[in-house]
C-alpha cells in the first residue's frame, strides 16, 4: 500500500511537471520534463535501494513497509528535499533580479 501511494505521488509529479512546462513553453518541453522525472525516479530508486539494502533485511519493518517501500520512501524524501532547495533558489534569484 505504501508503494502504491508513492507511485501515485510520482505520477502526480510527472503530470504536474508536464502541465507546467506545457503552459510555460510548449508540449515538447512537457514531454522533456516527464522524461526527466522518470529518469530521476529510476536512478534514484536504484541508489536508494542500494543504501537501504546495506542496513535493512528483506522483510523490513513488516508486510506494509518492506525494504522496497523503505527505498521508495527514502527516494521520495530525497526528491522532496531537492525540490524545496531548488524552488527556494529560484525564488531568491527572482527576488534579487
Q: Report pLDDT for 95.
A: 83
**Rounded to the nearest 10 degrees, what angle do helices 2-24 and 27-55 cross at?**
150
d(CA 83, CA 95): 18
Could you tell me the residue range of the domain that residue 17 belongs to?
2-96
Tell me the three cell numbers of residue 90: 529560484
What is the per-residue pLDDT across 31-89, written as a single tens digit (0 to 9) for each?
Answer: 999 999 999 999 999 999 999 888 887 777 877 788 888 899 999 999 989 888 988 88
pTM for this one? 0.78
Tally of structural domains, the chain: 1
Amino acid at each position: 500500500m505504501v508503494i502504491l501511494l508513492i507511485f501515485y505521488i510520482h505520477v502526480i509529479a510527472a503530470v504536474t511537471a508536464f502541465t507546467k512546462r506545457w503552459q510555460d513553453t510548449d508540449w515538447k518541453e512537457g514531454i522533456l520534463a516527464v522524461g526527466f522525472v522518470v529518469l530521476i525516479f529510476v536512478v534514484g530508486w536504484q541508489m536508494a535501494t542500494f543504501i537501504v539494502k546495506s542496513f535493512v533485511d528483506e522483510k523490513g519493518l513488516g508486510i506494509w513497509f518492506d525494504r522496497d517501500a523503505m527505498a521508495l520512501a527514502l527516494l521520495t524524501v530525497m526528491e522532496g528535499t531537492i525540490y524545496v532547495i531548488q524552488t527556494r533558489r529560484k525564488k531568491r534569484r527572482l527576488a534579487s533580479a
